[in-house]
Amino acid sequence: MPGKNLSREEAQQRADILTVDSYHVHLDVASAVDPAVATFKSTTTVAFDCTAPGSATFVDLLAPAVRSVSLNGRELDPAVVFDGARVALDGLAERNLLVIEADCAYSRTGEGLHRFVDPADGETYLYTHFEPADARRVFATLEQPDLKAPFTFTVTAPAAWDVYANGVHENITAEGDTRVWQFAPTRPISTYLTAVVAGPYHVVRDHYSRKLTDGSTLEIPLAATCRKSLAPYFDADEILTVTKQGLDFFHDEFDYPYPFGKYDQCFVPEYNIGAMENPGCVTFREEFVFRSKVTEAAYEGRANVILHEMAHMWFGDLVTMKWWDDLWLKESFADFMGSFSQIEATKYQAAWITFANRRKAWAYRQDQFPTTHPITADIRDLEDAKLNFDGITYAKGASVLKQLVAYVGRDAFFEGARQYFKRHAFGNTVLGDLLEALEETSGRDLTAWAAAWLQTSGVNLLTPEISTDSEGRITEFAVAQDGGTLRPHRLAIGCYDRAEDGTLVRTQRVELDVTGARTVVTELAGRPRPALVLLNDDDLTYCKIRFDDHSLATLRSSLGSIADPLARALSWSAIWNLTRDGVMPARDYIDLVLRFAGTESEIGVLQSLHQQSKGALDLYAAPEWQAEGARMLAEGVLRELRAAEPGSDHQLAWARFLTHTVGTEHLQLVRGLLAGTARIDGLEIDQELRWELWLALASAGEAEEAELRAELERDNTASGKQHLTHCLAARPTPEAKAAAWSAVVDSDALPNALVEANIAGFAQAGQRGLTAGYLTPYFELLESVWAQRSIEIAMRIVGGFFPRLQTTEATLAAADAWLTGHPQAAPALRRLVLEGRDDLARALKAQACDRG
């Protein structure tokens, strides 16, 4: 498998004969401030050993040009040994020294070394992002996780800049109008975990100290950075408080001192993902620096990401998976630990409610695609790896780990983790290594558990089966299990009845193991039938649940009366799954949201309900009812906005939802809010909300381009440019759609953030007629996009332009025709199209249900 991809077999062949002693990397980015200069000089020195002297191998490098290659003092001709993606090496010695000088490219896609110019002040910023395999865009590497080595970075940068990397800087030397930053060697880490951040970043510093069990003191310098123009909004104190709370928690539980010296957290522009766990130099998307008012859910979400990345310092960085098959060994654990530590160590106590309502919805969706996979996946190559950063690897894996903790016990689980870290520190592992440690500390054989939960795919459906006598007492209660591989579930069953104040409260809880196709619950026989039976109460297992008819009737009349917020969130989640599965009409789901969302106390749940009700209207409601549904939703949202407590998070959430549901009869209000001639008590129309109001007008064809550009003059920032692009693409004209399509498809000049903004504006639910004509061009461009663009951008184009809103049998047939006609297309590309096709089929089924 030559070229940019790398197969598991090729990686194994290299690992069989090579061990890497060290990397020394010198990057000269002094040219970065000149936008006309497209490349920077990269010099890599790799010392490695070979157990098969005389054999051949290759190193990975994606670069426009290679200046020189020297292997053990022997000069190799770059024109002969470099093919654009790999440098071929032959005649290896037992001990080898490789030196490669290359001209590497500054990136605009968020892969490799990304360059960004701040429109607010003209300053230039750089940062790297490498996972899973983009270090090779910046320096020559053996790009696979099991060839760990210490890294020593040297960076030449403009004199006014600061530079951050994994190690602490040991020396800074002035050389004319540049400074040379010399960093200390790291501990052995994988190539994808290395990082460099450079530019005139604003920085806030702090320090963490801790007494260790051996009597010594651990000292960790802390830093938090962002662009200078974001400094007025940077709440570094809150970020560093969560950081210290996390360090306390993980040291208490893991009993292994943080091993990477300092702890920098860099908030960077145009970042493709939430964050990346580079040891000593964690990178975050700068949207976590809030320019305008956000809800408590946003702060909770940021804290979760901070703790998620911190967990990786142990799960992923200290101990790393051997190959991407075991990606879950780091991501599932970090996802679980993000929520677990949040509850244990911080003020954010709704983490498990958010997990049940949002993260698991992601997992359920992914796990029902025809492309679903086990948590321990079969990752054939790097393209497979890129697509497996998904809801199964993260949220399903975390759900399964939550059940594992309940199964083996908290103490045994954490003691197993401690043994795992000590046994495999700075090494690489597979599933068996972790199970071995957990079996030792728990005394349980986990072979069957791992086979059922980690090595099979799909989600089980659990349904209560209740028989009663003439007096309404339960004569038999059973839990039926369906859905592929039947698994053992440790779960709780909650029985809810009405209290004197009318709320639904739990009156009985039974915890048991559900196994096989049908499990009888003897503990519930003889009791009066409760108003509501909630399977998987407390969210102990990973499953979809259904309701008996009596319980469903209770939810239809009283869902908002459930007193416990987690039970209420689980009920909402199950109702949403009924809607997605084409069992409950979409209009019924929207009706439930309009009747009960206004009393929802948990802001994160409320914001999920907003998103899901809009999805129900756009995708799952019968097309002939969508106009009526849109009117009902818009009126209901405005009613709740006016009723919300002034200045509250709930008011802000309803205001933002209004911008996505506003009807033509409410556009005058939108204009008035922007102009200041209309007001809603307590609602501050700050910059982010202004852009959302402009988007509502633009989508309705009620915003002129000149007005939108005038708003950019008011907010001439990176966020402002993205919002303007989104608004322009969202206008309901053929010209706007053609411009957005062309900007993304016909050129690779746009940065990743503006690619995303154009795609977001292109497809609007009320504009299906304007984009229907792009169906054939979409399928015609797929293979060329996949071949010519970086995988990050290709994934955005393929997934973002897929015609999901064209919910017709003709669209489904077009997807089927492409899949049938392109059996040899890249498997990762076919996977994206298959998932889009499945979304279409699901929408058509749900629409049929909604028609009745």
Q: For residues 404, 406, 408 and 414, what is the CA-based torsion angle, rounded to 10 degrees?
A: 80
Spatial contact of 103 and 37, defined as CB atoms under 8 Å apart: no
| DSSP type of residue 826 | -
Print the SS3 string covering 589-622. HHHHHHHHHHHCCCHHHHHHHHHHHHHHHHHHCC
Spatial contact of 805 and 763, defined as CB atoms under 8 Å apart: yes
Q: Is residue 446 classed as helix, strand or coil in its secondary structure?
A: coil
User: Measuring CA to CA, how many Å separate 567 from each of 460, 572, 612, 741?
Assistant: 19, 9, 18, 44
The C-alpha atoms of residue 395 and residue 360 are separated, in whole angstroms, by 6
Spatial contact of 771 and 803, defined as CB atoms under 8 Å apart: yes
DSSP 127-158: EEE-TTT-GGGTS-B--STTS-B-EEEEEEEE
Tokens of 735: 């010209």
Query: For tokens 């000590």, what's the residue?
Result: 422
The C-alpha atoms of residue 250 and residue 456 are separated, in whole angstroms, by 31
805 alpha carbon, distance to own chain's centre: 23
Q: How do beta strands 178-183 and 169-175 pair?
A: antiparallel
Tokens of 501: 């104040």
DSSP 290-313: -SS---HHHHHHHHHHHHHHHHHT
The C-alpha atoms of residue 201 and residue 194 are separated, in whole angstroms, by 19
Spatial contact of 674 and 708, defined as CB atoms under 8 Å apart: no
Q: How do beta strands 281-285 and 275-276 pair?
A: antiparallel
The C-alpha atoms of residue 837 and residue 779 are separated, in whole angstroms, by 12
Tokens of 770: 């304007």
Spatial contact of 281 and 203, defined as CB atoms under 8 Å apart: no
DSSP 48-101: EEESSTT--EEEE---SEEEEEEETTEEE-HHHHB-SSEEEE-S--SEEEEEEE
Return the closest-CA partner of residue 376 out of 392, 355, 399, 395: 392
Cross-strand bridge partners of residue 205: 223
The C-alpha atoms of residue 29 and residue 197 are separated, in whole angstroms, by 11
Tokens of 266: 């860099």
Question: Residue 49 — φ and ψ, nearest 5°?
Answer: -110, 155
Spatial contact of 571 and 609, defined as CB atoms under 8 Å apart: no
Q: Could you confirm whether 309 is annotated as catalytic?
A: yes
Question: Where are the alpha helices (H) located in 158-255, listed in sequence order?
Answer: 236-254
Tokens of 408: 């083996």
Residue type, 758: N
Return the closest-CA partner of residue 86 out of 134, 136, 14, 147: 136
Dmax over CA atoms of the chain, in Å, equals 93
Sign of the torsion angle spanned by Cα atoms 429, 431, 432, 437: positive
What's the distance, Cα to Cα, between the start and end of the chain in Å? 51
Catalytic residue among 253, 286, 300, 309: 309
Print the SS3 string covering 238-296. HHHHHHHHHHHHHHHHHCCCCCCCCEEEEEECCCCCCEECCCCEEEEEHHHCCCCCCCH
User: Which residues are marked as active site?
Assistant: 309
